[in-house]
Amino acid sequence: MRKKLQLGRAAALPASPDKAVLDAVANPEPGEAYVVRFTAPEFTCLCPVTGQPDFAHFVIDYVPARRIVESKSLKLFLGSFRNHAAFHEATTLMIGKRIAAAVKPRYLRIAGYWYPRGGIPIDVFWQTGKLPKGVWLPDPGVAPYRGRG
């Protein structure tokens, strides 16, 4: 029996990333090598030590194979981190690995640009697969943190 997608119906924000479901749907152009980019400039989660909020700007690029990520389910998955406590590195890799497991892309790159914690911004990058020859992968477009100047 086919699982019902979250798209097109009311779906509550999952209580945690473990309870979130990433929906994968058929790639409408499986014979083409192209990049899909998701940008999440207002990501939030919690510091595992202090419980204070952490903020990040994510850029997720992937080259789909047979399946693509349904964007509403991605939005709900990312929102499920709001009350989740983890270090920046663990959070970034968890997101990348969950997307990779859901759609098995040819290539995936996640760039997590974290706002300063203790005065130090932490940027975390992870990728899997090989970028197909001839595919244009644009720069993530996020400038390094420069403070308020």
Residue of 18, 23, 45, 54 with catalytic role: 54
Distance, CA of 76 to CA of 132 (rounded, Å): 29
Neighbours of 71 (CB within 10 A): 13
For the domain spanning 31-56+66-72+81-123, the CATH number is 3.30.1130.10
Q: Is the pLDDT of residue 1 over 70?
A: no
Over residues 30-57, the pLDDT tens digits come to 999 999 999 999 999 999 999 999 999 9
Over residues 69-99, the pLDDT tens digits come to 999 999 999 999 999 999 999 999 999 999 9
Sequence-distant (6+) residues with CB within 8 A of 69 are 22, 23, 24, 36, 38, 62, 99, 102, 103
Query: Model pTM?
Result: 0.93
Spell out the domain ranges in the chain.
Answer: 31-56+66-72+81-123
Residue of 18, 23, 45, 47 with catalytic role: 47
54 given a catalytic annotation: yes
